[in-house]
A and B are shown apart, each in its own frame.
Chain A
Amino acid sequence: ETGVTQSPTHLIKTRGQQVTLRCSSQSGHNTVSWYQQALGQGPQFIFQYYREEENGRGNFPPRFSGLQFPNYSSELNVNALELDDSALYLCASSSGTDEKLFFGSGTQLSVL
């Protein structure tokens, strides 16, 4: 069984640009959660998708948006990038019957 994969691993953008991060969930998992981890902090919940619908959102502005596809892979989109958006973005998948979260290795986003 394949694990959670995220792409790209690193990304550099400038302020005001838009970015799309991608996540392939673990085989058999229908739920994907996204987290932002600033340097020296724990992961902060952005939102969760369950069967292609948003299923909970953290304290992030609307310029953070997402999608989940029929194969349960997911995208995180961030518009109008700000310097403070520089962080490690983590994707985690889970199944409805198992509470364990399986994380990818993340995408390191730098906004200049």
Chain B
Amino acid sequence: DAKTTQPPSMDCAEGRAANLPCNHSTISGNEYVYWYRQIHSQGPQYIIHGLKNNETNEMASLIITEDRKSSTLILPHATLRDTAVYYCIVSFNGGYQKVTFGIGTKLQVIP
């Protein structure tokens, strides 16, 4: 499975868009990008995933570059409840559950 690189921490003002980057330069053609977040003392929560097209759901948008070597998770209007650790994972569909998560990005939303 391809490795991912994320900044260890980021700040975002409440109400502004939070843009969380992830580098996955060794991604192969049939590997998906998944995003999860973990709020303190809870289990991780699925956010979104995609292969090569940009994706949007009620929680966030996922932008994947054309060469698929990086992606950005966008929370359009960050709230204090979005403060969490965000994990970017790259793996084959059907196998990513067996992937060890990295340390993720600690997003702090500031009032």
Total cross-chain contacts (CB, 8 A): 58
Interface of B is mostly: loop
Of the listed stretches A13-21, A65-73, A96-104, chain B binds A96-104
Q: Mark B81-108, 1 if CB is under 8 A from A, else 0.
A: 0000101000001111111111110000
- Report the minimal beta-carbon distance from A80 to chain B, rounded to whole angstroms: 23
Does B42 make an interface contact (CB < 8 A)? yes
With beta carbons under 8 angstroms apart, the residue of A33, A44, A104 that contacts B97 is: A33
**Contact-residue bracket for chain B:** 20 to 34
A104 and B102 CA atoms in complex are apart in Å by 19
Does B44 make an interface contact (CB < 8 A)? yes
A31 and B95 CA atoms in complex are apart in Å by 12
Contact of A101 with B46 in the complex, beta carbons under 8 Å: yes
With beta carbons under 8 angstroms apart, the residue of B41, B95, B97 that contacts A101 is: B97
- Report the minimal beta-carbon distance from A11 to chain B, rounded to whole angstroms: 15
- Report the minimal beta-carbon distance from A10 to chain B, rounded to whole angstroms: 11
Interface of chain A residues 14 through 55 with chain B (CB within 8 A):
31, 33, 35, 40-45, 48
Does B43 make an interface contact (CB < 8 A)? yes
Does A4 make an interface contact (CB < 8 A)? yes
Does A78 make an interface contact (CB < 8 A)? no
Residues of B within 8 A of A106 (CB): 42-43
A33 and B46 CA atoms in complex are apart in Å by 15
Contact of B103 with A42 in the complex, beta carbons under 8 Å: yes
A100 and B87 CA atoms in complex are apart in Å by 14
Does B45 make an interface contact (CB < 8 A)? yes
Contact of A42 with B101 in the complex, beta carbons under 8 Å: yes
Contact of A105 with B97 in the complex, beta carbons under 8 Å: no
Does B49 make an interface contact (CB < 8 A)? yes
Residues of B within 8 A of A8 (CB): none
Q: List 23 A-B contacts (CB under 8 A).
A: A4-B43, A31-B97, A41-B103, A42-B100, A42-B101, A42-B102, A43-B44, A43-B100, A43-B101, A45-B97, A45-B98, A45-B99, A45-B100, A48-B97, A56-B98, A58-B100, A90-B43, A99-B34, A99-B94, A101-B46, A103-B42, A104-B43, A106-B43
